Each structure stands twice: as structure tokens, then as C-alpha cells.
Amino acid sequence: MALLSVRNLRTRFATDRGTVRAVDGVSFDLAEGEILGLVGESGSGKSVTALSVMRLVPEPPGRIAADSLAFDGTEILALSEAEMREKRGASMAMIFQDPMRSLNPVLTIGRQLTEVLHRHQKIDGAAARKRAIELLEMVGIPMAEKRLAAYPHQFSGGMRQRVMIAIALSCNPRLLIADEATTALDVTIQAQIVELVKQLTHERGTSVIWISHDLGVVAGLCDRVNVMYAGRVVETSPIRDLFKHPRHGYTLGLMGSTPRVDGMQHRLTPIEGLPPNLTEPQTLCPFLPRCRVSVEACRQRPPEARSFGPDHTAVCLADLGT
């Protein structure tokens, strides 16, 4: 049984200009110890998908619905807010994209770390302080014991991000959602965090949803990838197969606009145009106006999911060959 099972997840936001379909029928499974990548442009629905899984979308204006949203066999949407709070931070944790808005500016780093340990693991006093020091050292913060007394504004952006990672990992969650967790970090610390995540999955069986714009990090970390566009998963595949045989025009566009680091030079080709207006229903492929490989059928009917091998599907009518 999958640790996380998502079926037809739909997240809407009511606005003055209409209802925004931020997540529009997303389905996927996440196995124990698996690292699943979510990739796509800003506004594609990656972060809202993660916030919906954690039930952190404010209602109103948001509204989450799904045929099933199950974590370890429990329907998340059926839980009370108190029951959901018990899961967040303990068995489910999230590293947020903006650490400055996620950390409390009037509490020390040590207080914020030990508060999580006390709340979910009933660890207090010297034991909590010792564990907090270990966590800061684990994510590469020097002079960890001294830093416990510091406030968030005394840390650089990269160090605040590392604190957020330490808080998320503090209770050894079974599910870790990382939303652009290494964006603010230099490449050395980024590599350290990536290795830490790999170690967690190998030693503890932690399942990870890794949200990123960086296809290079995704290629080196993830087992499987969901490519998202306009609130939908347009392609899903094991990592090697996706990079070797992309089957959706959008996936092809993302790869064509990303520099390579394997020594093979290619001319970068940007994806022209803008994403669709998510307040308007999409009857055809939402990527059609920007697609370089569309065919006549794309302008006549909506695409259906097609299988291209084990665990590799794409919602695309174009034939991208082998």
C-alpha cells in the first residue's frame, strides 16, 4: 500500500475575477522510501498541491476536494483540525519556500526547534537542547550551540533555510515535503542537503516530495517525476526514462530551456508565451498555444493519458518518437 495516495485532487480559490483552478484533478501515489519530484514553471500548481496534502490551504478563499487523499490509509480530509495538527510536524512535515515568513521573528532559533520536539516527541530541557544542536549541525550550521540563542534576522537567507530543514526533520517524519528547499543555498550546502535527504530515505524509509525548478537536482535525487502544468500532472515517469524519452511537449520545453552540466552543449530554447488563465475552463490541452510539437488532433479534442512503458504516462497527443 502506498504511504500517500492522491486521487483527483482539486483545489480552488474564489476571487473577484472568478474561481482559480489551482490544482485540477491531480492523482499520484507515493511509496515508502520513494522520492517523487514535482517540476514545472511558477504557477503550475506544485506548491498548492503540497499545501493541499498538508491541509494548509486557507478556507476560505481556498477549497480542497478529492476523491481520495489518504496518508497511511487515513483520509486526510476527514480528519478534524486537531487531528491534523497531530500529524503535521510529527509524521508529515514540510520545508516551506520562504523561511523568513515561516520562522517566528521574536523567538530564538533554539526555542523554535525545541518547541517542535516538546510538542510532538515530549522531549524537554537538556535533552531537547542537545537534539536541537545535533539538528543544526546536521544541516551544516557552524557553532550550532551558540546559534541556538540567535534570532532569525541574525541569520542569512541560506542559514534560515537550513533551520527550516532542521525543524522539518526534527521528529523523523514519514513524509517530508520540500518546497524549493535548496533554492537559497550555495552549491556545497545544496549537495549536503541532497545527500541528507538520500540518507533519510535509505536509512529510515522516509518518503519525500521534492518540489523544484532545478531539473539537475531532480535528476540526481528523485526516483520518479511528476511534470505539472496549469494545475495538472501532464507527464509522470521514472527519472531516467523521463530525461531519456520525454513524451509531452511541455517536458520537452523545460529540458530545452535548461542548461546541461554533462558536457553536451545545446542552444537554450525558451518556452514562448504565458501560462493559461486558470479561471477559464481548459477544454483542449492547456499547453497548446505554447507547444512546438502540437499536431492537428491537439486542436480538435482534449488529450488523454497515454502509456509509454512501465509507470510512464503523458497526457499528450503528439508523437515525440523514441
Q: What is the Cα–Cα distance from 207 to 37, expressed in whole angstroms?
A: 11
* Average confidence (pLDDT) per 10 residues, the chain, 322 residues: 92 93 94 93 92 92 95 93 88 83 89 88 86 88 91 86 86 90 76 81 88 86 94 94 91 81 67 89 90 90 90 89 58
Cβ–Cβ < 8 Å for 210, 197: yes
CA–CA distance from 82 to each of 79, 104, 119, 171, 317 (Å)? 8, 21, 13, 18, 45
Query: DSSP character for 197?
Result: H
CA-angle at 199, arms to 198 and 203, nearest 5°? 125
pLDDT confidence of residue 172: 85
> What is the four-CA torsion angle of 112, 115, 120, 123, rounded to 10 degrees?
120
Upstream peptide bond of 61 is cis (omega within 30 degrees of 0): yes
DSSP per residue over 280-301, as a string?
A: S---S-TTGGG-SS--GGGGTS
What is residue 199's three-state secondary structure? helix
| Helical packing angle, 125-138 and 157-169, nearest 10° | 120
Q: What is the Cα–Cα distance from 257 to 264, expressed in whole angstroms?
A: 14
Alpha helices (H) along 20-108: 46-53, 81-87, 99-102
The C-alpha cell that represents 83 in the structure block: 487531528
Cβ–Cβ < 8 Å for 208, 197: yes
DSSP per residue over 140-182, as a string?
A: T-SSHHHHTT--GGGS-HHHHHHHHHHHHHTT--SEEEEESTT
The helix or strand, by DSSP H or E, that contains position 243, with its residue range, turns out to be helix 239-244
pLDDT confidence of residue 321: 65
Cβ–Cβ < 8 Å for 53, 177: yes
Superfamily of domain 4-91+173-213+224-235: P-loop containing nucleotide triphosphate hydrolases (3.40.50.300)
pLDDT confidence of residue 266: 65
Q: Where are the domains of the chain?
A: 4-91+173-213+224-235
The C-alpha cell that represents 76 in the structure block: 486526510
The C-alpha cell that represents 276 in the structure block: 493559461
